């Protein structure tokens, strides 16, 4: 009898994590096209059949890396824990989290951008960033209704995230290897000057 689906023994998640870590390391150094699944498996210390049993294909492996990198649930918990009494303070909390998370996942962002630039990224839209933008738009919808923010909430959310994406991707150009909290706070202030009602 053939059994399909995820195995339930304790080593499954550990094996998946090792494969994802190896893929991230190799994709970052060699790109996705310059890395074979055999190399990923060898670096992870598993055989190639194990890699395919867990992920099915190189594309599915890349998709799993993308989803793991997003941290949607953590972002939702950050939004849910905001006091809501001071918009500026709340946005600074969100901004600092977003920048720190993007910096931690910068390699994955660069891999995805390279795939997109090469025109080989035929995967469906990367759901994690889209979900984070959607959740942030819902947050801004509440602020628009409360009269604290003006603008279309989806655009406002994309504008907010886009500022910090640019900061993270370009920070080496500006000799800012570590996040500069004063700059992040100033960016939030500039954002608020444009969207405050």
In the chain, what are the domains? 11-64 (1.10.10.60), 71-195 (1.10.357)
Classify the C-alpha dihedral 188-190-191-194 as positive or negative: positive
Name the residue with higher pLDDT: 45 or 175: 45
- Residue 119 CB neighbours (<10 A): 7
Q: What is the pLDDT of residue 5?
A: 47
Q: Read off the pTM.
A: 0.73
Q: What is the pLDDT of residue 177?
A: 62
Q: What is the pLDDT of residue 119?
A: 63
Position 1 confidence tier, pLDDT thresholds 50, 70, 90: very low
CA triple 50-54-55, angle to 5 deg: 115
- pLDDT tens, residue by residue, 139-195: 999 999 999 999 999 999 999 999 998 888 877 676 666 678 898 999 999 999 999
Q: What is the pLDDT of residue 124?
A: 47
Task: Yes or no: say if 183 and 176 are a contact pair by the CB < 8 Å rule.
Answer: yes
Give the Cα separation of 109 and 33 in Å (integer). Answer: 16
Give the Cα separation of 105 and 54 in Å (integer). Answer: 22
* Confidence check: pLDDT of 113 > 90: no
Average of per-residue pLDDT values in the chain: 84
Q: What is the pLDDT of residue 116?
A: 66
Which helix or strand (DSSP H or E) is residue 194 part of?
helix 181-195
Give the Cα separation of 5 and 19 in Å (integer). Answer: 18
CA distances from 105 to 77, 102, 193 (A): 18, 5, 29
């Amino acid at each position: 009898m053939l059994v399909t689906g995820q195995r339930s023994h304790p080593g499954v998640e550990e094996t998946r994590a090792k494969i994802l870590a190896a893929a991230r390391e190799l994709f970052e150094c060699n790109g996705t096209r310059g890395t074979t699944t055999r190399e990923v498996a060898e670096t992870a210390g598993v055989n190639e059949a194990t890699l395919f049993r867990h992920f099915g294909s190189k594309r599915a492996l890349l998709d799993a890396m993308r989803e793991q990198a997003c941290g949607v649930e953590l972002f939702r918990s950050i939004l849910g824990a905001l006091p809501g009494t001071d918009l500026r303070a709340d946005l600074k909390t969100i901004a600092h989290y977003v920048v720190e998370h993007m910096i931690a996942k910068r390699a994955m962002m660069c891999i995805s951008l390279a795939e997109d630039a090469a025109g080989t990224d035929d995967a469906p839209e990367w759901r994690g960033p889209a979900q984070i933008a959607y959740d942030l738009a819902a947050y801004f919808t509440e602020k628009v209704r409360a009269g604290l923010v003006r603008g279309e909430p989806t655009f406002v959310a994309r504008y907010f995230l886009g500022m910090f994406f640019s900061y993270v991707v370009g920070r080496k150009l500006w000799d800012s290897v570590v996040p500069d909290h004063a700059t992040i706070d100033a960016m939030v202030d500039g954002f608020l000057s444009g969207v405050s009602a």
